[in-house]
Structure 1
């Protein structure tokens, strides 16, 4: 996995739904959060204040539930960058077993024009 970003978290009551497991929407929030954290940690030294990533699509697969007070590991990495797109994977683990996987496509957008822009090579070099 190229340039993998990892974080740990513990499932808290705010993550739990009426079925007593992590709500599906929470997984999507975690996907968005770790993508942003990875971006900001890797690109902190770049002068890219006029660029922003916008989610185009997400495909999530759930393999097992996460329950209250369980410790999880979330990993993310960029699979490829092509044109205006970044293709990112997020994997969520419980005790070294994958419980959720998400593949996302993000589009790089110029904040001023709100138009997609080609991913610069310097960004590709950071993540691939």
Structure 2
């Protein structure tokens, strides 16, 4: 696969009937749910699941999505969604990038960037990342540059 960045975390997605809107392709809101699913599975693979968030009274909450919809996905399409952690101040903010690809024709359907802020679950207020977040997410942090310069 021709990923934008090296060493992605990848999930497989199949476009289901319920994902399709009145225009006959996957609805834009569905893409956002796929981004969330991919980010969560990546977090879980790093040892940061919902139970760990609750234990630490911390969570990474979305504060901004930037999405470029490049091509449509259709019912039955088999897709791959990749994510990378490309930036972290190791205090409060973290940024992920995403790339959605249809392997059948190697088309990139979407590129996205999401900014997260660490919050205290009990108050909902921004709080410093615990060491578990700094270390867990830090192990996946990459340099945000293209493979081909």
TM-score, shorter chain, exceeding 0.5: yes
Is 1:126 paired with 2:129?
no
Counterparts in 2 of 1:94 and 1:127: CA distance versus 1, 3 Å: same
Could you tell me the TM-score, scaled by structure 2's length? Answer: 0.77
Is 1:39 paired with 2:40?
no
How many Å separate the matches in 2 of 1:44 and 1:55? 16
Counterparts in 2 of 1:107 and 1:3: CA distance versus 1, 3 Å: farther
How many Å separate the matches in 1 of 2:139 and 2:76? 34
How many Å separate the matches in 2 of 1:108 and 1:9? 28
The structure where strand makes up a greater share of residues is 1
In the other structure, the counterpart of 2:85 is: 78
How many Å separate the matches in 2 of 1:12 and 1:35? 20
User: Can you list the C-alpha shifts for 1:52-78, whole angstroms capped at 9, x where unaligned?
Assistant: 111100010011100110110000110
Deviation at residue 32 of structure 1 after TM alignment: 1.1
Which region of structure 1 is more displaced relative to structure 2, 103-112 or 116-125? Answer: 116-125
In the other structure, the counterpart of 2:122 is: 112
Structure 2 unaligned residues grouped into runs of 5+: 142-149
How many Å separate the matches in 2 of 1:84 and 1:44? 16
Which region of structure 1 is more displaced relative to structure 2, 67-76 or 93-102? Answer: 93-102
User: Can you list the C-alpha shifts for 1:14-41, whole angstroms capped at 9, x where unaligned?
Assistant: 1100111000000011111111111112
Aligned length: 128
How many Å separate the matches in 2 of 1:105 and 1:41? 19
Structure 1 unaligned residues grouped into runs of 5+: none
Could you tell me the TM-score, scaled by structure 1's length? Answer: 0.89
